[in-house]
Each structure stands twice: as structure tokens, then as C-alpha cells.
Chain A
Amino acid sequence: MPPDETTLAAPGVTAAHEFFSGVREAVPIVLGYLPIGFAYGIIAAKTGLSTLETVLMSVLVYAGASQFIAAGLIAAGAGCGTIVATTFLVNLRHLLMSAALFPWLRGLRTPTRAGLAFELTDETFALATTVFQKRAATAPFLAGLQLTAQFTWVLSSLAGALSGSLLTSVNRFGLDFALPAMFIALLVLQLRSRVHLAAAGIAAVCSLLFAQLIPGNWNVILAAVIAATAGMFLEGGSKNRAD
């Protein structure tokens, strides 16, 4: 649960210390982003994007799935409007993560929150909300975590774009399982009660079901809203029984 008051670092803990603590926590994301950023760089270069365009997208957009989709749409000759609209739909799920991060960051100044929001991804969100169970949520910590993640993403896109198709078989080494493995670990760490377990089960089943029925990426946001609502009501129910 997020703290009621603004969490500040303990006295004597410097901003630099917090920042590098965030850098260290980012290691699992670095492992996951390296092969995927590399694959994006290769695919973007193959669809005819220049190295500069490929890397600029990783710097300014910084959203894995939609960058792959954009490369595919550009290859298919889609126009600017189609690509931007698709990107919007694919990335709408961040609304929910931004809202869920708010209770931890509400003590920070608005420009700081607006700045930290730029590098919010599925992975940094999952990692940060897990780590914040045990440590204070400070701006330098989150900045260190997020900058390391995006730095990895940008650098690996550049490496992919430059390599052309020298090394396309990263998946043989199991690296394509790095991010699912990270989500498994983070999910296990967040299962603090039976209600959390139930919410996770509902979310996974709903997400799979919606993925079959609804085109686009709506399955994630719809399943998460349903599961979080179920969790809230189940929590109320189990409390009443305890009384």
C-alpha cells in the first residue's frame, strides 16, 4: 500500500545514492530490453527507416510494442494518421499505470511527476511498484531506474539498426523469455494476499479471453480494470467476514 504521507529519503541519503540505487534495480529490465531493442533496430532498418529515424523513435516514443507496429505499418505504406492513431490505442493502457503510480509520487512537485511520466513503461511500472513495497519512492531513485531502462532501449536499437541482420537469432539463447520471466518474478512478489492472487487470476484469464475477442491491445486495460475492481470488492468481502 502506498504511504499516506510523502515519502522522503532517510536523512543522510543523498540524491546521487538514490539515483544509483535505481540504476542497480534496473538490471532485470536491462536484460530484457537488450534483445528486444536490438530486434526492433533490425526490423526498423529492414523496413527502410534510417538509423537516425530508428533511434529517434526510441528516444521520443519509447514504447516497445508500438514501435514494432509502426515499423510494420511504415513498411506496409500506411500514412501518418493511421500510425499515430494505432500508437495511441496501443499505449492507452499507460493511463492506468500512471494513475496507479500516483499515490506513491503525489508528494513530488508537478513538473517532476510530468518528467518522470515520460519514461513510464510496462516494465518500469511493474518493477517500481514492487520495489516501492519495501523502499521509499523518491524522484532520483525512479529517475535512475527509468533512465537506465531507456538508455538500454536506445543503445540496443542503435546496435540493431547498425548491425542490419547480423544477429537475428537471439531467441535461440532464450533471451526472448527474459521479460516474461521478469513479470513472473514481479507478479509472485506482489501476491501479498489471497485477494491479490484472485485478482491476478481474473486478470490473466480475462486478458487471454479479450485477446481472442477484441482486436488491438484493449485486452490489457479491460482485464486490469475488471480484476482491480474485483479485488477491491473481494477485499471488502473478506474484511466483513473477519469482523
Chain B
Amino acid sequence: MRTEIFLTIIGMALVTYLPRMIPLVVLHRLPLPGAVYRWLGYVPVAVMAALLGPALAMPQGELQLTWTNKFILAALPTFLLAVKTRSLVATVIAGILAAALLNICL
């Protein structure tokens, strides 16, 4: 293994681990007011929507709000099924099938 690449990977590992670890470790030492807990309660839903918006509307990295965007089309039945079944595995499989079907049809 080349030294430069090895050092790059070690550096990447370090700067990736620190933001993952620091809040989980240091928040223990801080008394958090109730408002902070209420705020943190909305973080999961906010993070998921913040990841999902660009994933669907910018599948190639550029905004594509048209009916030729297969991810937006596939998202419609996927959302519907998620609401109806509330099943994670069923939704993922249906989403994959919808995307595959769109790839064949379009």
C-alpha cells in the first residue's frame, strides 16, 4: 500500500469519526434543558426529509423537476405503499420494482 494513500485514508477515518462520536460522548456531561430534547426529537424527521428531497429531485446532481425524472415517478407509488402498509421491507421492494419498471418503459 502506498504511504500517501494510507495516510489519506487514516485522515479521512479520523475526521469522519469525530463528528459521529463527539456529541454522543460529551452530551453526557452537559445537563440539557427540555427544549433541547424537544428540538432533537424533530432532527430525525428533518434529516430524512433533507436527504430525501435532493435524492428524488436531483438524482443526477442537478435539479430535475419534470415527468422524465424516474425517481420522482417511482416515489409516488412508493409513498402510497408506505402509507398503506407501513412496512419497511415491502416499501423498499415495491420501490425497486417501480424503478425497474420505469427503466423498462421509459
Contact = CB atoms under 8 A, between A and B. Distances in A.
B20 A84 contact: no
Given A60-B9, A61-B12, A227 B46 contact: yes
A26 B16 CA distance: 22
A200 B92 contact: no
Contacts of A85: 15
Q: Is the interface of B mostly helix, strand, loop or mixed?
A: helix
Given A95-B19, A95-B22, A203-B47, A181 B8 contact: no
Contacts of A203: 45-50, 53
A196 to B, nearest CB: 5
Interface string A21-62: 000000110011000000000000000011011001100111
A232 B12 contact: no
Contacts of B42: 195-196, 199, 227-228, 231-232, 235
B17 to A, nearest CB: 6
A208 B75 contact: no
Nearest to B74: A177
Nearest to A1: B41
Nearest to A60: B13
Interface residues of A, number: 100
B90 to A, nearest CB: 8
Interface string A169-207: 001111111111111111111110001100111111111
B20 A98 contact: yes
B92 A50 contact: no
B12 to A, nearest CB: 4
Contacts of A99: 23-24, 27, 40, 43
Contacts of B48: 126, 183, 186-187, 190, 200, 203
Interface stretch (A12-20, A158-166, A216-224): A216-224
A186 B52 CA distance: 11
A25 B101 CA distance: 27
A224 B103 contact: no
B63 A212 contact: yes
A7 interface: no
B103 A118 contact: no
A207 B17 contact: no
Contacts of A177: 70-71, 74, 78, 95-96, 98-99
A235 B23 contact: no
Given A80-B11, A99-B40, A186-B88, A31 B96 contact: yes
B92 A28 contact: yes
12 contacts: A2-B37, A27-B89, A88-B16, A95-B19, A100-B41, A180-B56, A180-B78, A181-B96, A183-B55, A187-B45, A201-B49, A224-B43
Interface of A: 1-2, 27-28, 31-32, 49-50, 52-53, 56-57, 60-63, 66, 70, 74, 80, 83-85, 87-88, 91-103, 105-106, 110, 113-114, 116-118, 120, 122, 125-127, 129-130, 171-191, 195-196, 199-208, 211-212, 219-221, 223-225, 227-229, 231-232, 235
Given A84-B11, A182-B95, A185-B92, 13 more contacts: A31-B96, A53-B1, A60-B13, A95-B23, A99-B24, A127-B88, A172-B103, A177-B95, A177-B99, A180-B71, A190-B48, A231-B41, A231-B42
